[in-house]
Structure 1
Amino acid sequence: MKLRKVTAASAAVLALALSATACGSDDSDDADSGSSGGGTIKVGIKYDQPGLGLKEPDGSFSGFDVDVATYVAKELGYDADKIEFVETKSADRENAIARGDVKFIAATYSINDERKEKVNFAGPYLLAHQDLLVKTDSDIAKGTDLNGKKLCSVTGSTSAQNVKADIAPDAQLKELGGYSECIAALQSGAVDAVTTDDSILAGFAAQEKYKGQFKLTGLKLSNENYGIGVKKGDTATTDKINAALTKMVSDGSWQKAVDANFGPANYKNEPAPKIGVIVS
């Protein structure tokens, strides 16, 4: 009798343990199984880049990166209401992936050799270029026209420094805390041009309050291959995202997203890049 009582008790404990394990397993699977499992996915984006990744006042999100991330997540099995967008600032992108804070990141994330040592990249999904944004009536048409002019970029950015070092040594640099401040300075006439990636500039220029006031010069001062960051070594997810990006281009969704987010700024975007091909 004693043996039977112990066995019965042990069986009950074992049944409870298996039940708890099964529940835990379901929760874990849901986090990766998408709509078939009812789970959610965390995706890193920028919160402060109009046209690319922007958190709206009502809590919703907009921008090209958001559209790309939403399409990719759907191909991975997650409906839009199962996506949790997480702010990932530039300096914390690699750490956010390594910590597992997000499944992937779509946040103007230029692919380069240093970053590839730390994360996997899917894509590229957009080829951007460093450019200049000026007023629509500006006579600045080439880099050397910046000599003697006031050029704005964000504090710590290399964009303006590169222009001064390589193109217009007599440009007057003005560094501010964010690109929104630079755009406001351009609007007021405090500066003559703003420089960073053309996609970022186009996003700001496309805002309703700035429509028709600015233009991109189209100088293409550098190549910026935007990729989707994935945990280092996670080739399965990387391959799935590459397949999703390929489909997004082929079914026309990619161009539709470009037109919707950058069109108002007359952004002359490059054709959709070939997945896996980096333009140097």
Structure 2
Amino acid sequence: MADKPADGGMRPEELSAPSERHDREHHGPPDDAHELWSAGDAGDRDPQARWIGDEHDPPLVEDDDQRVRWAGDEHDPPSDEGGDQRVPQAGDERDRWSGEQWAEGSENAEVAWPGPSLKPRLRRFRRFRLSAWIALVLAAAVVGVSVLWGSGPPTEAELWEQAGLSNNRTKNTNGTNNKIRIGVKGDTPYIAERKRGGGFEGFDIEIARMIAADLGYLPKEIEFLSIETEDRARMQGRNDDLMQGRNVEGKSVRADLVVASFSVTPDRQANPAVGFSKPYFFTEQSVVTMEAGTRLPKKITDLKQLRNSRVCTLGTSTSEGALFDATGGQASGTEITGMNSLKDCVEGLKKGDFDAVTTDAALLAGFVKDSAKKGPAERLIHHDLGLEKTEMWAVNAGSNAALRTLVDLSLYRSYADPRDRRWEEAYDKYIRPLDDGSGGYQGSVARAEQPCTLPPPVRRWPWERTLSVLGC
């Protein structure tokens, strides 16, 4: 029997027969291979033996029992239940021998062990493939959104540019760019009235201020122009001023917007010089007579009852056309007078120049309410005609389509945003007091809610918030 090697290790031929080596090459180490590595005698193996592999192959460490264990790699398999808590050794089924054999004839024999495990490679490949798919999907989404974004309606910023708004300012016809000019009526109590000090107040004034604020203007940057009824379509107003109680007539100036109880009609919409916004107010036509000394019926419910009488109304208004259709005009003995100022009509009624005045109920209600504080000879009676036709007031932006869209955007936000109470506050302050029954009016002079307004065509990103609109 041959002697053992001088170093106390096992002879190479003792490790296995040729057939066993062949099995190891093709089928992995035998089931008891780990015994060669876990022997208690340190002399049974070369202490310099190590694993040959890549960075994922763990180093061998020895515990107190001189058993070779795996280092704490993430690929460590769980230990057997209830048995030895050692980590599986080289004989485990998942380990494979490489084609290299034991190095024979060397003092420091090295074990030729396989390279990196297949599972980490598969995981890296799958991660790469998933990342590639995500990148492709994101790229396609970006391209798709870019195409849709570039081909949609203009953005709000683009509308500002198209409307002539620069640094939150409108370039007015006189070349200045520090104010916005808005044409309003100045002779209608609670709607738009010019006070002795020169300032304006009323429901229309508050709506004009709301829109101007949304366009970026401060209250001091709004210039109100007095505008006559017949000039609303032309958008021509006057920058009058009141100084020490004297009316100083100014020059004619073009307005940027007109907020002057301007009713929407098909004929006006067909006018290329008129660009109506969405409606901001609903009212109806009514009639006012004197409480005493009138030759008309005490209760008027139909415009036909005004035949053979003298009636004043606003010239070029919707009320004038309705009055003519109902009475037949001069052919039926009805004398119709059209005025530019409603205040002139009411003053003529009090003087006895007219038998009745007819126009929108919200315009007449303020005069009726103020007359209740006076004597019987000056008090007015307000008659509810019960007409189904609704008068819709809208803002005139002229031919500036971009500015009109921005006005619609302001009205839409006012309607749809429950936190925006500016319209409701204006109604409560100026319109609701007119429904107190003064003058004998039976109905409501105006609808107590802002007309429904859908969002205008303004381009938004998909994640931008769109306000809910109900009832349109």
Q: If the length of structure 2 is used for normalisation, what is the TM-score?
A: 0.45
**How big is the shift at 1:61?**
0.3
Deviations 1:35-63 (A, max 9, x none): xxx94221121222332222211000012
Deviations 1:90-143 (A, max 9, x none): 33334337x993321111122234433223221210123222123468722311
Tell me, yes or no, if structure 1 residue 226 matches structure 2 residue 393: yes
SS at 2:424's partner residue? helix
Counterpart residue type for residue 274 of structure 1: C
Aligned equivalents of 2:450 and 2:168: distance in 1?
33
Aligned twin of 1:61: 200
Tell me, yes or no, if structure 1 residue 262 matches structure 2 residue 262: no
Tell me, yes or no, if structure 1 residue 142 matches structure 2 residue 301: yes
SS at 1:84's partner residue? strand
Matched-pair contact (CA < 8 Å) for 2:230–2:315: no
Q: Larger relative contact order (C-alpha < 8 A, sep ≥ 6)?
A: 1
Tell me, yes or no, if structure 1 residue 214 matches structure 2 residue 381: yes
Aligned equivalents of 1:56 and 1:114: distance in 2?
33
Matched-pair contact (CA < 8 Å) for 2:313–2:338: yes
Q: Give the counterpart of 1:239 among 400, 405, 413.
A: 405
**How big is the shift at 1:164?**
4.9
**How big is the shift at 1:259?**
3.2
Aligned equivalents of 2:231 and 2:316: distance in 1?
15
Unpaired runs of at least 5, structure 2: 1-164, 172-176, 237-251, 436-443, 456-472
Counterpart residue type for residue 131 of structure 1: S
Aligned equivalents of 1:81 and 1:121: distance in 2?
26
Tell me, yes or no, if structure 1 residue 92 matches structure 2 residue 231: yes
Aligned equivalents of 2:184 and 2:367: distance in 1?
16
Deviations 1:3-24 (A, max 9, x none): xxxxxxxxxxxxxxxxxxxxxx
Q: Mark the CA change 1:179 to 1:86 in structure 2 (over 3 Å): closer, same or farther.
A: closer
Greater strand content = 1
Report matched runs for 1:1-280 at 5 Å: 29=167, 31-32=169-170, 39-96=178-235, 101-116=254-269, 117-135=272-290, 139-143=298-302, 144-147=304-307, 149-154=309-314, 159-160=319-320, 162-167=322-327, 172-173=334-335, 175=337, 177=339, 178-187=341-350, 191-207=354-370, 213-220=380-387, 222-235=389-402, 237-249=403-415, 250=418, 251-266=420-435, 267-270=444-447, 271-275=449-453
SS at 1:257's partner residue? helix
Aligned equivalents of 2:315 and 2:227: distance in 1?
18
Q: What is the aligned-residue RMSD (CA, Å)?
A: 3.6
Counterpart residue type for residue 232 of structure 2: R
Q: How many residues align?
A: 245
Matched-pair contact (CA < 8 Å) for 2:181–2:257: yes
Aligned equivalents of 2:283 and 2:399: distance in 1?
24
Aligned equivalents of 1:115 and 1:165: distance in 2?
18
Aligned equivalents of 2:306 and 2:333: distance in 1?
5
Deviations 1:176-231 (A, max 9, x none): 74422332344456544210122221233243676774324143374322111114
Aligned equivalents of 2:262 and 2:206: distance in 1?
15
Unpaired runs of at least 5, structure 1: 1-26
SS at 2:394's partner residue? strand
Aligned equivalents of 1:42 and 1:254: distance in 2?
21
Range with bigger deviation, 83-92 or 68-77: 83-92
Q: Mark the CA change 1:57 to 1:165 in structure 2 (over 3 Å): closer, same or farther.
A: same
Larger Rg: 2
Matched-pair contact (CA < 8 Å) for 2:309–2:355: yes
Counterpart residue type for residue 269 of structure 1: A
Greater helix content = 1
Matched-pair contact (CA < 8 Å) for 2:235–2:398: no
Q: Mark the CA change 1:68 to 1:190 in structure 2 (over 3 Å): closer, same or farther.
A: same
Matched-pair contact (CA < 8 Å) for 2:284–2:446: no
Matched-pair contact (CA < 8 Å) for 1:146–1:168: no
Range with bigger deviation, 253-262 or 207-216: 207-216
Q: Mark the CA change 1:50 to 1:254 in structure 2 (over 3 Å): closer, same or farther.
A: same
Matched-pair contact (CA < 8 Å) for 2:229–2:314: no
Q: Mark the CA change 1:101 to 1:244 in structure 2 (over 3 Å): closer, same or farther.
A: same
